[in-house]
Amino acid sequence: MITEPAARKMFSLGDAGREFLRHPSPWLIGATLVAALTARIVVGDWQITDAIVPVAMLALFPFFEWLIHVFVLHWRPKRLGAVTIDPLLAREHRAHHRDPRSVPLIFIPWKSLVTWVLPLTVVVGLFAFPRLGMGLTYLVCIGTLGLLYEWTHYLIHSDYKPKTRVYRAIWRNHRHHHFKNEHYWFTVTSSGTADRVLGTYPDPGTVQNSPTAKNLHAQAV
């Protein structure tokens, strides 16, 4: 039987915000967002496509979360000759499943952000779009969504109790992933949007508790 850990009785949004800002990933993503927003204002060249970018990204972001969660964070270590391919993001995520209440493990590892996640994101923004302004709009949007992801993921694993219907649904969706069955409920910032489309949003009452929810890729006994 998989049970959820006990929470502190008094933990406000203010408490959550102060803890959130003690960790490096919000600052790294935030700095990227501020730089992108400043550059976007300086460059100007506003066009209708700049309005299309955020709409498209809002629609696609749950699917992006799902893909990253399934294929990167839940990556199984693979042997290639004498080398084991096991990225830091996957290793940290396995540790996060083992101890969902460990606050540092909730956040995107800062080493991954600095070495490739943020640099790759900036390269995409600067070179994958037909206009610089449009690429900077993309960077502003992905920075905003990145902060939203970090905040939502942190808040779900904190002792803050859901007080709205929308957040309660998001909270419950991700808690099912950690404390019921790790093979379902992969979205984080929404209540199963991509999961519903991609077939990983079953009725929780029909899903058995997984013996490997806290020990990813272990052999079930």
Tens-place pLDDT, residues 72-128: 999 999 988 889 999 999 999 999 999 999 999 999 999 999 999 999 999 999 999
Going 196 to 96 to 204 to 6, the CA torsion angle's sign is negative
| Predicted pLDDT of residue 192 | 85
Confidence band of 152 (pLDDT split at 50, 70, 90): very high
Phi, psi of 121 (to 5 degrees): -60, -45
- Token pair for 159: 């002792």
Do residues 106 and 18 make contact, with C-beta atoms less than 8 angstroms apart?
A: no
Tell me which H or E stretch contains 32: helix 24-43
CB distance 137 to 36 below 8 Å:
no
Helices and strands in the chain, H and E counts: 10, 2
The distance of Cα 198 from the centroid of its chain, to the nearest Å, equals: 17
Q: Read off the pTM.
A: 0.92
